[in-house]
Amino acid sequence: MKIAFIGLGNMGGPMARNLAAAGHSVTGFDTAAPMPEGVAPAASAAEAAREAEVVLTMLPNGQILRAVAAEVTPVMPKGAVLCDCSTVDVESAREVARQAEAAGLGALDAPVSGGVGGAAAGTLTFMVGGSAESFAKVLPLFEVMGQKAVHCGDAGAGQAAKICNNMILGVTMIATCEAFALADKLGLDRQKMFDVVSTSSGYSWTMNAYCPAPGVGPKSPADNDYRPGFASELMLKDLRLSQQAAEAADADTPMGRLAADLYESFVEREDGRGRDFSAMLPRFERRGRG
């Protein structure tokens, strides 16, 4: 398949490399990131997209996505699919889909879970919104880049699934870190706590697979001085998107709102920037009730 890949940073670069390694013809564009192995460089996003059957994007935010979409949709061949793998606001995803469909194109919003490691290993999970026809066309590419792709519904449904998932993730990580900090102050051994909680009703992904306590459970960023697998500022971005969506939908999400406030303080006023989102644990270790 002829593919354009726009946005070749920490996530997009390895995703594009995996597509090229699988035998697809991949042309790439990025304003700063180096070109991955096997990917042909283009001078602009429009040049990359001009003959592509599928244009994939991995971009920082909805504003940039809208700008890239405005550049590439007029030059893409009729029937091609614009597939955005960024995590952006639901309304940007829906507006880009409307723009693509008006130009005779398919459109998918397909944010991912799995982080940089999953992008490199080709084990991402894709949450996809858009038509069944476009999903079927891009599915072989999802299968190269990831281990699972779920068609969640119409345009915007992929972004909705991603921000709901990550709202749960942020809230659960905070609760897990709070519990470890409380256990410390109660004199409970961390390993004993893990042994109980990981097999009891407190079981969660943040405890069992991504434990924030160094030396406890499977290897995680906590065992690497909290160097990010998923950076705190990215968690803050996703929690803000969840609250933006909640506001638009008139949904009551008090735990999501509190998690957003806590990560905002951690990233913008404390030492969280550039650290894994599980570094909330040392934050709570240092703090008392006040």
- Crossing angle between the packed helical segments 12-21 and 132-145, to the nearest 10 degrees: 90
Q: Name the pairing type of β-strands 40-41 and 54-57.
A: unpaired
Could you write out the three-class secondary structure of 151-201? EEECCCHHHHHHHHHHHHHHHHHHHHHHHHHHHHHCCCCHHHHHHHHCCCC
From the list 137, 162, 219, 237, the catalytic residue is 162
148 assigned to active site: no
In this structure, what token pair is assigned to residue 159?
């972004």
Q: Which two tokens stand for residue 162?
A: 């991603």
Token duo for residue 119: 């992008």
Sign of CA pseudo-dihedral 236, 238, 242, 245: positive
> Which of 115, 114, 63 has the alpha carbon at shortest distance from 84?
63
CA distances from 131 to 138, 145, 220, 240 (A): 11, 20, 37, 27
Biggest CA–CA distance in the chain, Å, is 65
3-state secondary structure of 107: strand
Q: Report the distance separating Cα 142 and Cα 244, nearest Å.
A: 28
Catalytic residues: 162
